Structure 1
Amino acid sequence: MSLTQIQSFVAVAEEGHVGRAAHRLHLTQPPLSRHILALEDELGAPLFERTPRGMRLLPAGEAFLQHARRILSEVDAAVHTVRGVVGGPSK
């Protein structure tokens, strides 16, 4: 599981649509869809219901979303801490 897959998952979950999530992440739809499919394959469960109007979280996706947001928050905090130690710019 990669950080990119987790970021992609959160964006699609929040946007409810692959196209809008791809735009938000400055990606095209095909690689974003591949990130989601690879994540679902690794987890062994579908995370979204695909509908003609977009993507809706399934119960497994709802459960994973909390953890995914926490992971991204922890990564941001770690980057901020390291940059503070070395005197680099913080986000």
Structure 2
Amino acid sequence: MLAAALCGFYRCPHAVAWLLATLSSSTPLVISLLLNDDQWDRTFFAIVVFSLSIVAIAVSFGQWAVLGTSPAWIALIPLSSLILWIIHERKSASRRL
């Protein structure tokens, strides 16, 4: 997902949907890999990931419907990233990564 988002952003840097798809797919990855200790507030990270993903989905559909500058399937990148985040967070803290 991240590779597809980065490739799309590289090929079409004027489309904000690609930028947000890149951010919304890299943020959960960074949080999961670097900030996976119990000392961090997981609810704050969940709010960040959910908010960023929802905004990325809305912008993707907006750019597709209103401007026509990006395809509608870009919304699948932040949606799938959000689904993977939910699955990851349902695991117990000891079983994460």
Question: Fold match, TM over 0.5?
Answer: no
Richer in helix (by share): 2
TM category (shorter chain) comes to 0.3 to 0.5
RCO higher in structure (CA 8 A, sep ≥6): 2
TM-score (norm 1): 0.39
Richer in strand (by share): 1
